[in-house]
């Protein structure tokens, strides 16, 4: 290969690919706490069905959720109505190893993004979910030992096998995202999302380059814990900052004739990076309130009013 050809290949790998089609519904249902619900398989199935009826057809999982049992609970419910699978998009995450009786080989909590671990995790998730594919697989946390080329090659293998259709990351900083994306460019593929925590009590992604990168690349971020684990809407969980945000959400919600939950989700949706919230609630009404935010656009001053409540001071 000539020097010029090698340089052309390097240049091509460095160029960001065109933004891919985002494969999920605009609101995603989070299954993180499903093991705590103590529901029957039929009750779990009904929750899935009701979410789909609301237009929430994407479901967020991770292999570790519920101490490695949530995927199985979801799969058991889905087995009661297998045809429903064709209406769903399943998101899963891997890369965290927890100390658990269900994983006796894990000596300490650690991260593992090796080829063998990713492939084994995907196989286990497919079995538990009783499906032949995942619409989206995310690396759950940045791994200090991450080999970007190895991950990109592993992703290419999974896509070739038809076991995973799209790939992304979770909790990555912009430079970590860029590293893995550069490796994936060589395979002609894209990371489609970075799933991050964002809400008025955690504003860092607005200012550390994470959402700037998402907007520049056209990669819509997924948002976990959009209600700060309930701190935005449950007064009993509130510290001073949470109480400020709660009061502001109530005020803005009253002006729009909706609930504070709807305003909290609308606050996320207002960002031009087009975030996709993950609503993790057993309450179908909470999913309905999240969906209602799709029809509401906050004005900039209301958005900054909520930002100010979370930050504790006005903009500089």
**Which residues, at least 6 apart from 127, have a Cβ–Cβ distance to it below 8 Å?**
none
Which element (helix H / strand E) includes 110?
A: strand 110-111
In a domain, 150, yes or no: no
Which residues are bridge partners to 114 per DSSP? Answer: none
Give the CB-side neighbour count of residue 284, counting CA atoms within 13 A.
Answer: 13
In a domain, 112, yes or no: no
In a domain, 251, yes or no: yes
Q: Backbone phi, then psi, for 274, in 5-degree steps? A: 60, 60
Distance, in Å, from the CA atom of 170 to the CA atom of 168, rounded to the nearest integer, reads 7
Mean pLDDT, the chain, integer: 94
Distance, in Å, from the CA atom of 121 to the CA atom of 119, rounded to the nearest integer, reads 5
15 pLDDT higher than 80:
no
What is the mean predicted confidence (pLDDT) over 135-157? 98
In a domain, 309, yes or no: yes
In contact, 74 and 129? CB cutoff 8 Å: yes
Which residues are bridge partners to 96 per DSSP? Answer: 111
In a domain, 288, yes or no: no
Distance, in Å, from the CA atom of 42 to the CA atom of 31, rounded to the nearest integer, reads 15
Residues in the chain: 316
Entry pTM: 0.93
Q: End-to-end alpha-carbon separation of the chain, Å?
A: 54
Domain count, the chain: 1
Count, in order, helices (H) and strands (E) of the chain.
Answer: 13, 10
What is the mean predicted confidence (pLDDT) over 45-57? 98
5 pLDDT higher than 80:
no
Helix (H, G, I), strand (E, B) or coil at 287: helix
In a domain, 262, yes or no: yes
In a domain, 247, yes or no: yes
In a domain, 35, yes or no: no
Catalytic residues: 65
Q: Tell me the residue range of the domain where 266 lies.
A: 198-213+221-280+296-316
236 pLDDT higher than 80:
no
pLDDT of residue 20: 75
């Amino acid at each position: 290969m000539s020097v010029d050809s090698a340089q052309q290949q390097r240049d091509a790998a460095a160029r960001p690919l065109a933004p891919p089609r985002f494969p999920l519904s605009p609101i995603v249902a989070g299954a993180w706490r499903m093991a705590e619900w103590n529901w029957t398989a039929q009750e779990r199935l009904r929750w899935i069905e009701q979410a789909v009826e609301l237009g929430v057809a994407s479901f967020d999982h991770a292999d570790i959720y519920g101490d490695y049992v949530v995927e199985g609970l979801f799969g058991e419910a889905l087995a009661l109505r297998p045809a429903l699978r064709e209406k769903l998009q399943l998101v899963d995450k891997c890369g965290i190893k927890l100390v658990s009786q269900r994983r006796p080989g894990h000596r300490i909590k650690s991260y593992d993004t090796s080829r063998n671990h990713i492939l084994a995790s995907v196989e286990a998730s497919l079995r538990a979910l009783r499906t032949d594919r995942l619409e989206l697989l995310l690396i759950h946390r940045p791994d200090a030992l991450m080999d970007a080329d190895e991950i990109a090659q592993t992703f290419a293998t999974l896509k070739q096998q038809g076991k995973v259709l799209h790939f992304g990351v979770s909790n990555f900083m912009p430079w970590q995202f860029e590293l893995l994306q550069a490796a994936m460019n060589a395979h002609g593929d894209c990371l489609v999302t970075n799933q991050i925590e964002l809400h008025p009590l955690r504003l860092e992604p607005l200012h550390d380059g994470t959402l700037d990168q998402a907007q520049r690349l056209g990669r819509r971020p997924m948002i976990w814990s959009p209600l700060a684990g309930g701190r935005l809407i449950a007064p009993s969980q509130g510290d001073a900052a949470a109480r400020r945000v709660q009061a502001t959400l109530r005020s803005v919600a009253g002006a729009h004739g909706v609930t504070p939950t709807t305003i909290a989700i609308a606050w996320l949706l207002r960002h031009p990076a087009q975030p996709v919230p993950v609503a993790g609630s057993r309450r179908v009404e909470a999913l309905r309130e999240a969906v209602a935010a799709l029809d509401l656009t906050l004005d900039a001053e209301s958005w900054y009013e909520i930002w100010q409540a979370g930050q504790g001071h006005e903009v500089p």
